[in-house]
Structure 1
Amino acid sequence: MDAIVIGGGLMGSAATFFLARRGLRVVLLERGRVGTGATVASFGNIRRSGRYLPQLPLAHHSRALWGQAQHLLGRDVEFRATGHVRLIFGDKGLADMRRFRQAAQPWGLELEEMDAADLHRRFPGLGPTAIGASFSPDDGSGNPRLISPAFAEAAVRLGAKVVEGAEVLGITPTDAGFRVETTRGSFAAAQVLNAAGAWGGRIAERFGEVVPIRAHGPQMGVTEPLPHRILPVVGVWAESGHGGYLRQVERGNIVFGGGVTRTEVDLDSGHAHYDFARLPAQLASLLPILPALAGVSVIRTWSGCEGYVADELPVMGPSATTPGLFHAFGFCGHGFQLGPGVGDVMAEMMATGRHLVPLGDFRIDRFAQAA
């Protein structure tokens, strides 16, 4: 094999596809089932507003790939460019939005500012006490349950191999690259991509690269169907007492998250849970965004194991200690939009050594330099 990808979430499955598309022989190793970790727990948000500014080139590249996803993968992954609205409820939120809007323009992101009258005319029922909002018309959402399997299946059609239930037991450098021992056997390749999500830090540590990363579980839920009235994804320029985010799927259900703290997750089990004691506070945080949620039934809640790096930035790029080893993990709950771009960028780097976008701020050796 030319490459082994460890981790079958969105980053790993996309990298597998783009490696195979470039003609490399690649095997994807997933400890469980493809797409059942942090990816499936995602809200499905495809947004660029509010991002760390040097991350925007990657976000732009990824947004372009989301637009091509159905053509690339041969199936509808429910990407919808419905737009992304972020409500403003006070002076601090307004100042934060305007500061970001101005700073993001040189990075190629244009946000529209709406005042209260414009917001309530264009999106009636949203944020009745909001004083304004930002609007990013080309962003939107995708289906977290579809995207990773779609990338993996498309990769297999290109000749890649996908092995599920393959927990990594050991990784050994060899003269020809690496040998990876798993519960499903031994695999060898010239290069390895560590896309193991919250477990990525454990793999990096095997090679003397320590990353301060912790696992947390987002608090997600979905309501009974309501009359369809909300087209864009909706979030908030957060201030005290306001938070959360939501979107309405085509069948009418409201998918929601945020507004409360995340749970701690034990990496040994990898089991993340929704804390039902937090549901009343979470729903209360959503009512200023969408008062129509009052009295609506929540029909399902869920969580997942996400990796959060101490400086809230991901790890992306080559290992600083081991030639042929690459990392793409720790996306701090903000990786869904970035996933296709991360896969393409890492595949290009592994295949040619080229960088499609700047990644300097995401180097793994930033932690060693700070020590």
Structure 2
Amino acid sequence: MSRQDVDVLIIGGGIVGSSAALFLAQGGQRVALLERNFCGAQASGVNYGGVRRQGRPLVQLPLSSRAHEIWGGLQDLLGTDGEYLKSGHLKLARSETDFASLQAYAQASQGFDLDLQLLDRGELRRRFPWVGDIAVGASFCPEDGHANPRLVSPAFAQAAARAGARLLERTAVTVVEHDGQRFQLRTDSGLTLSAPWLLNCAGAWAAELAARFGEPVPLTAAHPAMLVTEPLPLFMTASTGVEGGGIYARQVARGNCVLGGGRGFALDADRARPGQLAILDILRNAAELYPALTGAQAIRTWSGVEGYLPDHQPVLGPSLTTPGLLHGFGFAGAGFQIGPAAGEALAECILQGAPRHSLQAFSIARFPSQPRSSQSCA
């Protein structure tokens, strides 16, 4: 049985865990990143690919704004742009009530440099003539966009490895212990790893690890319904969503349109399918909102496993029970854009003692079953 001592252990190779590994390795830490599948293969790699700040809860906007800066330097950071495009994000309203909600959000989010542009029916038709008549208005965030999660998420892990992190894919953790000073992990390959820091970035499976350290959380799994169409003539000039939910869509340079909405179902703990009814509902909504998609053929459908907490806010920051344990999970299907900043914040807790933006709103302390003491990473 082999053994290795490092500075930081990270469980979970999604975009949060992999970005934390990258920033820690760049900061001179000896890092081991463990992923039981392949890095970026779960929620971080199967999501819609939206890179948006618009519509996020206000409490997330400082972290989301920092992520926006990181995305702007993606090529230099990772060696690939991941098909990242600042197309703008168009949030559509299907009723006057929904448009009033967009107006209220634009007012409340002033000060975060979103530069939101409210478009009434006439202005929406003039600027985005491909939107269906069912939309009565919209809010446009010109600097938001989209990227390819199947390229970006693994690229963070690969960049971490180039920076010196040890990348252990297809490696399941079988034992996790803490002796008061260091964490000891054993894997299914017989490897033992030890470190004073452990990052719990295990996505929809993170609650099990948190519970081992006396921190149960009501994390549940959900399964997005996704599809991509055949290549079509280019028409969709922005990534889109809808106030109140229901559907989101973007078109890539090859002409394919990526759409999502609704929920699929689990096959087992690790796999999911979108379901026929969810796909049909996406296609029905698409024809109303984007008439150019009428009759388009879906060439592939998929789903994944995402972690949700009741308030749709992540747990991000220190454990209340165990020195050296940091959590980063539960992003409610919206972790792709904010993920690099979340990973950086976890790295800053170790490298600097505190992140540049407060994580207090995302503390695990907000759940009533938690103890009251805490570590000092604000």
Q: Does 1:172 align with 2:172?
A: no
Q: Does 1:301 align with 2:301?
A: yes
Q: Counterpart amino acid of 1:296?
A: A
Question: Which of 123, 134, 150 is the matching residue for 2:128?
Answer: 123
Contact 1:215-1:307 within 8 A present in 2 as well:
yes
Deviation at 1:224, TM superposition (A): 0.4
Matches within 5 A, 1:212-223: 212-223=218-229
Q: Does 1:245 align with 2:248?
A: yes
Deviation at 1:110, TM superposition (A): 2.8
TM-score, normalised to structure 2, is 0.93
TM-score, normalised to structure 1, is 0.95
SS at 1:19's partner residue? helix
Contact 2:95-2:135 within 8 A present in 1 as well:
yes
Structure 1 CA distance for aligned equivalents of residues 269 and 124 of structure 2:
45
Structure 2 CA distance for aligned equivalents of residues 356 and 278 of structure 1:
40
Deviation at 1:14, TM superposition (A): 0.7
Q: Does 1:134 align with 2:139?
A: yes
C-alpha distance 175-129 of structure 1, shift in aligned 2 (>3 A):
closer
Q: Report what 1:54 is aligned to.
A: 59
Q: Report what 2:324 is aligned to.
A: 324
Q: Counterpart amino acid of 2:168?
A: V
Q: Report what 2:376 is aligned to.
A: none
Q: Does 1:224 align with 2:230?
A: yes
More displaced stretch, 123-132 vs 82-91: 123-132
Contact 1:82-1:141 within 8 A present in 2 as well:
yes
Q: Report what 2:114 is aligned to.
A: 109
Structure 2 CA distance for aligned equivalents of residues 122 and 318 of structure 1:
46
Question: Which of 1, 14, 26 is the matching residue for 2:19?
Answer: 14
SS at 2:164's partner residue? coil
Q: Report what 1:28 is aligned to.
A: 33
Structure 1 CA distance for aligned equivalents of residues 227 and 265 of structure 2:
18
Contact 1:85-1:133 within 8 A present in 2 as well:
yes
Question: Which of 178, 182, 187 is the matching residue for 2:193?
Answer: 187
Contact 1:165-1:183 within 8 A present in 2 as well:
no
Deviation at 1:26, TM superposition (A): 0.2
Q: Does 1:83 align with 2:88?
A: yes
Q: Counterpart amino acid of 2:208?
A: R
Alignment deviations for residues 330-349 of structure 1 (CA, whole Å, 9 cap, x no partner): 10001111011111111111
Structure 2 CA distance for aligned equivalents of residues 364 and 165 of structure 1:
29
Question: Which of 63, 66, 71 is the matching residue for 2:71?
Answer: 66
Question: Which of 234, 240, 244 is the matching residue for 2:240?
Answer: 234
Q: Report what 2:162 is aligned to.
A: 157
Deviation at 1:76, TM superposition (A): 2.4
Q: Report what 1:263 is aligned to.
A: 264
Q: Report what 2:375 is aligned to.
A: none
Identity of aligned residues (%): 45
Q: Counterpart amino acid of 1:257?
A: G
Q: Counterpart amino acid of 1:304?
A: G
Deviation at 1:32, TM superposition (A): 0.5
Structure 2 CA distance for aligned equivalents of residues 111 and 76 of structure 1:
25
Structure 1 CA distance for aligned equivalents of residues 265 and 297 of structure 2:
26
Matches within 5 A, 1:269-280: 269-280=269-280
Matches within 5 A, 1:278-297: 278-297=278-297
Contact 1:209-1:365 within 8 A present in 2 as well:
no
Structure 1 CA distance for aligned equivalents of residues 269 and 204 of structure 2:
12
Deviation at 1:145, TM superposition (A): 0.4
More displaced stretch, 106-115 vs 87-96: 106-115
Structure 1 CA distance for aligned equivalents of residues 136 and 335 of structure 2:
29
Contact 1:218-1:257 within 8 A present in 2 as well:
yes
Unaligned ranges ≥5, structure 1: none
C-alpha distance 321-370 of structure 1, shift in aligned 2 (>3 A):
closer
Deviation at 1:273, TM superposition (A): 1.3
Number of positions where the alignment pairs a residue of Structure 1 with one of Structure 2: 365
> How big is the alpha-carbon RMSD for the aligned residues of Structure 1 and Structure 2?
1.5
Structure 2 CA distance for aligned equivalents of residues 182 and 4 of structure 1:
12
Structure 2 CA distance for aligned equivalents of residues 162 and 121 of structure 1:
50
Contact 2:317-2:346 within 8 A present in 1 as well:
yes
Deviation at 1:108, TM superposition (A): 3.9
Alignment deviations for residues 87-121 of structure 1 (CA, whole Å, 9 cap, x no partner): 11211111110111111103443311111221111
Contact 2:227-2:279 within 8 A present in 1 as well:
no
Contact 1:312-1:332 within 8 A present in 2 as well:
yes
Structure 2 CA distance for aligned equivalents of residues 32 and 84 of structure 1:
32
Contact 2:223-2:305 within 8 A present in 1 as well:
yes
Contact 1:104-1:110 within 8 A present in 2 as well:
no
Contact 1:53-1:107 within 8 A present in 2 as well:
no
Structure 1 CA distance for aligned equivalents of residues 287 and 244 of structure 2:
14
